[in-house]
Structure 1
Amino acid sequence: MPMLVLLLSIGVAALHTPQHGNQHCSHVSRRALAGAFAAAGLSGVLPTSAATLLLTEDGVTLRSAEIYSVVPDSTKTLSPTVKPLTAGTIVKQLQQCRAVFLGEHHNSAADHLLQSAVIRELHKERGSLPMAVGLEAVQRRFQPALDSFVAGRIGEVELEEATEWRKRWFWPFAAYAPVFRACRELGIPLLALNVDSEDLSRVEVGGLPALPPETLRSYVTDPEGFSAFAATTAFKEYVAYIVKPSYQMHQRMGILRTTITGQMLDEDMSFRNFFSGRVLWDESMGSASAAWCRNNPEGLLVGLVGSDHVKFGCGVPARCARQLPGGLASVASVMLNPLPSDTVRDPSIAGGPGGRLNFGEYILQLRYAPVPGDGGAPVIGSKPEDRERAAAVSQARVGSAVLPLADYLMFTTPPPLTKYTWVESSSIQS
């Protein structure tokens, strides 16, 4: 497909904003933190929460976690549920996939400990079958440093320096140390997934056309699939629910005049450029993951990426699945320690009475296609073939009218002094 057509299709998706009453969800991105730190003249190391500081590297195991599968519902009742699973069951299910994406909160030590536990359990289950761990936290140019670390040629201090961690990622290196140690100990290759900051900054200034064609092709290896992915109603709903509110949050914070590299802009970054940077980021991680899977036919790629890149079906997992023969059947998405504020617009929603976690406060799915008799608002621009088109590019399963929050939800068992009551299942209308 000609690159001009590809770029035009991205613009169309970016400018479509459904007008029915979806709630929106926003997060503080790495670009936002970069802008905030640059504006304040600071270099950032973010603290972990008080709760996560109570955890030790040996204090979290997969078998002590609360685990649920999300069961979406495309009937007129729109009543998704969650089903509790054992650690043994989910390990067996995940190890049958080609790629598994664990959606993290970057500054949460608990999330990274849980990632380490999942990696160890999967490695134990797989035996001699190949496995790799992909990292959003590391940009592609630093792949040699990851190789050197796993091979034992450099240590953690040298790895932090070699990846320019404090300049390019900001969140504490120490929080990720359990993952690095597990991979080195077990001989699991580490894979750099992310776009180089210099390239992302160019896009934030001038959109995708600002990248040299060969650079764009290195990230977008499947231009026709990339274009088709942006043209579905499901994706447009996802953009309105996830990406547009994130842009608006950046506007309210007053940090859209700084790129990821700290370059100052004369005016706020346009939504088109912001959106283009976001989809390039997702496509880069999805494409790199899919390439490793294709090169390792019996392999399992475990991707460690931010929760916003995992949730509601149109982020990294779907972009990877689109490029694999098995589609969504070969990929799994997992949200780690999600809060209601990860799924709804109002971040003040933090739990039920007495701090209890209640799945009724979560948005477990996003409706993107009409469901006869559901009583919901019409989907702007919907077409009869919406479900088929979403399934064709691995955004949704065949016949589904909704985008589930994720395939699985995992919660770290709270440490002492923190008490929760876990409910087995609940439901909420999208």
Structure 2
Amino acid sequence: MQAKWRDASGAAISHAAIMARAARADAVLLGERHDRPDHHLWQAYVVAGLAAHRPVVVGFEMFPARLNAVLAEWVNGELDEAAFLEKAEWGTVWGFDADLYMPIFRLCRALGLPMAGLNVPRALVRAVGESGWDGIEPADRAGLTPAAPSPMAYRQFIFDLTGGGRPDRKAQSAADPAFDRFIRAQEVWDRAFATHIVQAKADHPDALVVGIIGMGHLQFGGGVGFQLGTLGLQDSLALLPVAEGDAMPAPGAADGVCLLPRLPPQG
């Protein structure tokens, strides 16, 4: 059965057409829910398809950039799986079941696709959320510049995603200044992922950079794609998976949505 895709407007688009468009981009951002095996298998299939078109570098939210040397050791065949996960501090820096992600890691190793960490220390995210960038010493900014303020559609999406206007919340709208602290923290991650994608592109100028990133960072014209644009990398696509029975993202949420058959229960 062929993959079924919808474009940004919600109209049907062929698998061949969207893959050809993605292969021409500077960066392709593949969303996920972290605990969904079907999402990670889809990501692996898309990476493999894009790698048939041109060189690919795969960036991962799951690893901080400081572990790039370990990722290179894995791709180069210098570590077995257990040693890789231990040396990459998997249980500390991420913690979701590694088996969810191993198909993508094994694919990168099999095809010789460079891997790059996209993340930064959580302490920086918390500190910027609390104090803003002005409260962070330049030496403690992990090489990041302050995030560009997010568009309102993205703020609204994050506000709704995190509970909307519940009576017990201090912030009662996406525009409420009381929501700024939360959105500042979200933007640190967005800026970090974008900054490291730009660096991966600079390190591999002829390659397409594919980001493996939680879908909450990719939607409604904001998040990583928006920050990439402010950093000068204009041609990026955000692609999302959605399984049968799951709610479809609203039109405009992403550049493409792939409709997946639901996997049977595990075990």
TM range (shorter): 0.7 to 0.9
- Which runs of no fewer than 5 residues in structure 1 stay unpaired? 1-62, 72-80, 255-269, 340-349, 352-356, 365-403, 418-430
SS at match of 1:313: coil
Aligned equivalent of 2:111: 186
Confirm whether residue 236 of structure 1 aligns to residue 152 of structure 2. yes
Could you tell me which amino acid in structure 1 is paired with residue 73 of structure 2?
S
Aligned equivalent of 2:31: 103
Aligned equivalent of 1:143: 68
SS at match of 1:302: strand
* Contact 2:154 2:219 (8 Å CA) reproduced: no
Confirm whether residue 85 of structure 1 aligns to residue 14 of structure 2. yes
Name the count of aligned residue pairs: 257
Q: Return closer, same or farther for 1:210/1:108 CA change in 2, 3 Å cut-off.
A: same
**Alignment partners' CA distance in 2, 1:188 and 1:336:** 22
Deviation at 1:196, TM superposition (A): 1.4
Could you tell me which amino acid in structure 1 is paired with residue 154 of structure 2?
Y
Deviation at 1:312, TM superposition (A): 0.6
Could you tell me which amino acid in structure 2 is paired with residue 333 of structure 1?
A
For 1:337, which of 242, 253, 259 is the aligned residue?
242
1:261-340 correspondence runs (5 A): 271-324=179-232, 327=234, 330-337=235-242
Q: Return closer, same or farther for 1:253/1:170 CA change in 2, 3 Å cut-off.
A: farther
- Post-superposition CA distance 1:155-196 (Å, at most 9, x none): 221222222222222221110000000000000000100111
**Alignment partners' CA distance in 2, 1:246 and 1:168:** 24
Q: Return closer, same or farther for 1:309/1:338 CA change in 2, 3 Å cut-off.
A: farther
**Alignment partners' CA distance in 2, 1:180 and 1:405:** 27
SS at match of 2:8: strand
- Post-superposition CA distance 1:57-100 (Å, at most 9, x none): xxxxxx742222123xxxxxxxxx322313x2222111111100
Deviation at 1:111, TM superposition (A): 0.6
* Contact 1:104 1:111 (8 Å CA) reproduced: yes
For 1:411, which of 259, 262, 265 is the aligned residue?
259
Q: Return closer, same or farther for 1:157/1:70 CA change in 2, 3 Å cut-off.
A: same
Confirm whether residue 68 of structure 1 aligns to residue 68 of structure 2. no
- Which runs of no fewer than 5 residues in structure 2 stay unpaired? 170-177
**Alignment partners' CA distance in 1, 2:79 and 2:167:** 42
SS at match of 1:118: helix
* Contact 2:38 2:263 (8 Å CA) reproduced: no
* Contact 1:64 1:412 (8 Å CA) reproduced: no
- Post-superposition CA distance 1:136-173 (Å, at most 9, x none): 11112222211111111112212222222222222211
Aligned equivalent of 1:363: 250
* Contact 1:337 1:409 (8 Å CA) reproduced: yes
Structure 1 residue ranges, 4+ long, deviating more than 4 angstroms after superposition: 246-249, 251-254
**Alignment partners' CA distance in 1, 2:100 and 2:152:** 35
Aligned equivalent of 2:99: 174
What value does the CA root-mean-square deviation take over the aligned residues?
2.8
- Post-superposition CA distance 1:234-260 (Å, at most 9, x none): x13421x123345557x9999xxxxxx
1:239-254 correspondence runs (5 A): 239=155, 241-246=156-161, 248=163
Q: Return closer, same or farther for 1:211/1:252 CA change in 2, 3 Å cut-off.
A: farther
* Contact 2:74 2:80 (8 Å CA) reproduced: yes
**Alignment partners' CA distance in 1, 2:83 and 2:92:** 14
